[in-house]
Amino acid sequence: MNKIHEDSKVTEELITKLNSLHAKERMQIPVQEMPMQDPVERRSNIKEVALGFSEKQAIIEANRCLQCKNAPCVKACPVNIKIPDFIKKITEQKYSEAVDVIKETNVLPAICGRVCPQETQCQSGCVVGKSLKDINKAVGIGRLERFVADYDRKREQEKNNKVNLNEVSTSSKTTKKVAVIGSGPASIVVAADVRKAGHEVTVFEAFHRLGGVLLYGIPEFRLPKEIVEYEIENLRKLGVKFQTNFVFGKTRTLKALMEKDGFDAVFIGIGAGLPNFLNIPGENYVGVFSANEYLTRANLMKGYNQEQAHTPMYNAKKIAILGGGNVAMDAARTAVRLGAEEVYLIYRRSMDEMPARAEEVEHAIEEGVIFKTLCNAKQIIGNDDQCVTGIECLKYELGEEDNSGRRRPVAIKNSEFTLDIDSVIIAIGNSSNPLIKQTTPELELNERGNILVKENQETSVKNVFAGGDIVRGAATVILAMGEGRKAAAAINKALK
C-alpha cells in the first residue's frame, strides 16, 4: 500500500539529487502516502489510525513543494502559516527550525496537523495539486506539519522529563491578572500568549480535566490525548494556573471575577455547548444520544474501556448516526470500535456535500460504516419499554441551491423505509452554550446566542474578550486558535 515501496526505484534516484530538481521533476516525485493502521485491526482498538511520516518520507514530500513566490497555500491558511518556509526547513532537515516557523502563527501544530481540514484550506490552493489536476496530489502540508511537530515534541519530552514542575516559577512580571474561561484550543492560545507577556493567568474549566473538545470530543484514534496533555503541561511550565470544576457564571459570575477576585481581563472560550436535536417523534427514547454525550462518555469518561470505566456505554449492536460532519464521523467510528456490528450513517445530502474532512469519510468507509446518503430520519421507533428498535427514514433528492450554495435536499414522497437498530446518535450540530445567556446578561449576544465581539475579540463589556466556538458557532480548531491569538494580543495591549 505504501507508495514509498511501490516507487522505490524512482524515489531512490530522485533522492540522490533532491536538491537540484526542476519544478517539472519535483512534480514527478510520488505523493507520500500516510502510513496507516490496518482497517480491520483498528476496528477493535482506539489507537491512532494515521501513524505519521517517516523522516525519509517527510524529506521526499517536502521536496514536492515548489517554493512558490506568491504561495497560494499561505493565503488559504486561516492563520497564514509561512508554509513554503517551514517546508524548506524540512528539506534541509532542520526540523526544530521548521516548527519555529509554524509556531510564529500556530502554537498547536501537532494538533492542527492532525485535525485541520487541509483539503479545503492550505492544500486547496497548492500549485502542485492544481497542476496535477488532483487535490489529493497537493503537497501534504498537514502531514508535514504533523511530522515536524511530533519530532519536536519527542525531543522536548526527552529533554523535559528532567524538569521538576515544582520548580516552575509562578511569579509574574506584571501585577495584572487574567482569567481564561474554558480550556479548549482558543483558551490554550490565550493562556500561552498572555502569560508570555508576563501577566498572571488562571484557566477556569467546568470539567475535571483540561483540553475542551480536543479531550472530550475528538477521539483518541484521531488525536491522542497525550498530545493535548503535553500542550497543557507546557502551559503549566509557563506558570499558568488551572482551576478545574469551575463553571463560569455559576461557581463565580463575571462580576465577581472582576470585582471581587481582581481579574483585570477575562477571556471567554467556552465552546459551542448545547447539542441540537431533530424534534422528531421518539427522540427521547432509551438509546438515543447526542454525539456530545456519546463521545464524552467514550473519551473523557473512558467509556471505551468498559472493563474499567464506571461510566456505562449503552449496550447496542446496530447504531444509526444522524449527520455528516466530523462529529458524526467520530461518533460512527467510535461505535465501530465499541463493538457495534452495524453502524449506519444517515445524511440528508450526497457524499459530495458532506462537511466532514475527506480523510475521516474515507477512514469511516474503510472501517465498515454503512453510508445512507440522501435520506433522513422521520421518526425513531421504540418498544413498550420505550427502547429504540428502529428508525424510519425518508429518501431525499437534491433540489435548487440554497443560500449556502449547496443544493437543498428535498424529501421524496412515500419513500419511507425502516432500519432495524437499537441506538441512535444525533450529530446535527450544536447551538450556543445556554449558561451565558442565563448567568451573564451584560454580554451582548446575536440572535443565535453567540457572543458578539469587535474586530479585536472584545465583547460589549470592557476588558472582557471572547473567541472560538462561542463566538463563531461550531467551527474549527484553527479558527478558534486564530481568534485566541487576536484576543491575546488585544488583552496584552489593554493591560499595557
Partner 1 sequence: MNKMNKIVKKIKISDKIFKMTVEAPLIAEERKAGQFIILSLDNDIAERIPLTIAGADIQSETIDIIFQIAGKTTKVLAQLEEGDYIANIVGPLGQPTEIKNYGHAVCVCGGIGGAPMLPIAQALKEAGNKVTVILGARSKELIVLENELRQYADEFILCTDDGSAGRKALVTEPLLELCKSADNAPDMVMTIGPPLMMKYSAETTRPFKIKTYASLNTIMIDGTGMCGGCRVTVGGENKFVCVDGPEFDAHLVDFDNMTKRLNSFKDRERQVDHHCNLDQEIAYLRSIQKDTSN
The region of 150-158, 301-309, 365-373, 468-476 touching ligand FAD under the rule CB under 6 A is 468-476
- 3-class SS at 192? helix
Of the pair 59, 340, the CB lying nearest ligand FAD is at: 340
Q: Which three cell numbers stand for residue 375?
A: 435520506
Q: Which does 182 bind (CB under 5 to 8 A by kind): ligand FAD, ligand SF4, partner 1, none?
A: ligand FAD
Of the pair 288, 361, the CB lying nearest partner 1 is at: 288
Nearest to 117 by CA among 218, 32, 268, 44: 218
Residue from the set 387, 398, 411, 494 that interacts with partner 1 by CB under 8 A: 387
Site size toward ligand FAD, by CB under 6 A: 41
Residue 315 found at the interface with partner 1 (CB under 8 A): yes
Q: Which three cell numbers stand for residue 55?
A: 523522516
State CA 423 to chain mean position distance. Answer: 25
Residue from the set 18, 27, 36, 68 that interacts with ligand SF4 by CB under 6 A: 68
Q: How far apart (Å, rounded) are the C-alpha atoms in residues 269 and 212?
A: 9
Task: Please state the φ and ψ torsions of residue 409, each to the nearest 5 degrees.
Answer: -80, 135
- 3-class SS at 379? strand
State CA 481 to chain mean position distance. Answer: 11
Q: Which residue is listed with cell 502542485?
A: 128
Residue 39 found at the interface with partner 1 (CB under 8 A): no
Q: Which does 84 bind (CB under 5 to 8 A by kind): ligand SF4, partner 1, ligand FAD, none?
A: ligand SF4
Of the pair 160, 439, the CB lying nearest ligand FAD is at: 439
Q: Do residues 345 and 369 lie in contact, with contact meaning Cβ atoms separated by under 8 Å? A: yes
Q: Both ends of the chain: CA-CA distance in Å?
A: 56
Nearest to 387 by CA among 288, 294, 251: 288
Residue 135 found at the interface with ligand SF4 (CB under 6 A): no
Residue 128 found at the interface with ligand SF4 (CB under 6 A): yes
**What is the chain's Cα-based Rg?**
24
Residue 141 found at the interface with ligand SF4 (CB under 6 A): yes
Q: Which does 327 bind (CB under 5 to 8 A by kind): ligand FAD, partner 1, ligand SF4, none?
A: ligand FAD
Residue 218 found at the interface with ligand FAD (CB under 6 A): yes
Give the x/- contact pattern for ligand SF4 in 71-110, rule: CB under 6 A. Answer: xxx---------xx--------------------------
Contacts of 79 (CB under 8 A, 6+ apart): 105, 106, 478, 481, 482, 485
Residue 79 found at the interface with ligand FAD (CB under 6 A): no
DSSP 83-106: HHHHHHHHHTT-HHHHHHHHHTT-
Q: Do residues 396 and 348 lie in contact, with contact meaning Cβ atoms separated by under 8 Å? A: yes
Of the pair 121, 292, the CB lying nearest ligand SF4 is at: 121
Residue 477 found at the interface with ligand FAD (CB under 6 A): yes
The region of 70-78, 184-192, 432-440, 450-458 touching partner 1 under the rule CB under 8 A is 432-440
The region of 49-57, 78-86, 447-455, 472-480 touching ligand FAD under the rule CB under 6 A is 472-480
Other CB atoms within 10 Å distance of the CB of residue 475: 16
Q: Which residue is listed with cell 501577566?
A: 199
- The amino acid that residue 457 corresponds to is Q
Residue from the set 34, 65, 345, 369 that interacts with ligand SF4 by CB under 6 A: 65
Residue 116 found at the interface with ligand SF4 (CB under 6 A): no
Residue 148 found at the interface with ligand SF4 (CB under 6 A): no
Q: How far apart (Å, rounded) are the C-alpha atoms in residues 389 and 34?
A: 40
Task: Please state the φ and ψ torsions of residue 465, each to the nearest 5 degrees.
Answer: -120, 160
For binding to partner 1 (CB under 8 A), which residues are involved? 206-209, 243-247, 250-252, 271, 273-275, 277, 279, 283-287, 289-290, 292-293, 296-297, 301-302, 305, 308-315, 385-387, 433-435, 438
For binding to ligand FAD (CB under 6 A), which residues are involved? 115-116, 181-187, 204-207, 212-213, 217-218, 246-249, 269-272, 295, 326-327, 330, 357, 433, 435, 468-470, 474-478, 480
